[in-house]
Amino acid sequence: MGKKNKGKKGNPNKKQREKNKGRRNLDQIAWKTEFFKLSQQLRPFNLHIREITGDGNCLFRAISDQLTGEESAHEIYRNMAVEFMIENRPDFEPFIEDDKKFDEYIANMRKLSVWGGNLEIQALSLALAVNIKIHMLGQPIWEVRNHDDSVKTIHLSYHDGDHYNSVRLIGDDTHEPARSIPDVLRTVKSLEQATDETWNDAVEYASLILYEENKNLIKRVLIERFHEAPSIDAINEFHGSLINDVAQAKKFGFTREETKEEVKEPEPPKLQEKKSKKSLALGMKPAKLPSNNEKCWCGSNKKYKACCKASDSFRESEPEKIIEKLETLQI
C-alpha cells in the first residue's frame, strides 16, 4: 500500500473534504485563484488542465477521461476499484479511515457521488496496471508507482483538497485517451512566450472575478493600473479598485473596438515623469519594503501605498519564478 501517512497529506478524509467543499462554496475567488495558479504552474511544461465535472465522481471521471477520452465511464472505474479492494481485502482493510468497518466502507464507496481517495487510487493503479501522477499547486508531483516504466502513466490534478481534474498535453483536446506525457518534465516555453501568457492569464482571471466579458476593456484597465502584467495575487489585492476602474472606463465610453494601437493624446509631463521613474526603478526594489504610510522607495515622496505598492506585487514576473524541472515524490 505504500506510505499511508504521506498519501494522506494530499487527500484529506471525508470530514476535511466537507469542510473544504463548504469553504469553496463561500470563497469562489480563492478557488479560482488556486485553479489559475496551478494552470500557470503546469503551462511552461506544455501541460494543461481539462476540467472535470465536480459531482463527487471527479476522481473516477478524471481517470475515465485519461483512459477513454470521456468522463462517462466513471461508474465502471468506481466499480473496478471496489471489486479490486474486495478481492484484496487484507491489503486495504488496515487503511480504512474514520473507524469504519471494511464492509461499510465498501458499501458506501459503491454509491455514485461518494468521493474517491487514496485507497481507490491505489486500487485502480493495480487493477489497471498504470502508474498515476497527481499535480498540486506548489508541491512536487505525487506519484503512485506500482509498475515499471513500460506501463502507461496517467496524470491528474488535485485542487484545494476536494477535487480532481485531468491533466493533458497542451493541444491534446480530443475525445481520445490522453496522449503520453514525458516522464521528466522540463520547461518548453521561452520567457517571452511565458510573459505573453502571463498577460493572457491576468486578463482572463480579472475578467472572471470582475464579471466583465469585454477583455479589451479589462486589459486596458490592467495596463493603466499596473503597467505590466500583474500576478493573480496583485489582481486579488486590488480587486475593489479594479471594480471602480472598470466602472470608470465604461463611464468614459471605452468600446470593444478600441485597441492599444489607437492614437492617444500626449500624457501630461508630470505623469510621464512619474512613469519614467517607475520604469527606471524596475529591478531595483529594496530587500525591505516600506509600510503603507511610509515614503515610497522610488523617490516620488508619495506614500508607498499610493505609489509603487501595486507594481511591487508583480515586479518579479511569475514566469521568471517558474522552476525549470518538476520534481516527483513517490508515495
Active-site positions? 55, 58, 163
Put residue 154 in one of left, alpha, beta given phi > 0 → left and psi -120 to 50 → alpha: beta
Cell numbers for 272: 510621464
Biggest distance spanned by C-alpha atoms of the chain: 78
- CB-based contact 5:150 (threshold 8 Å): no
Within a 10 A sphere around the Cβ of 153, how many other Cβ atoms? 20
Cell numbers for 47: 501541460
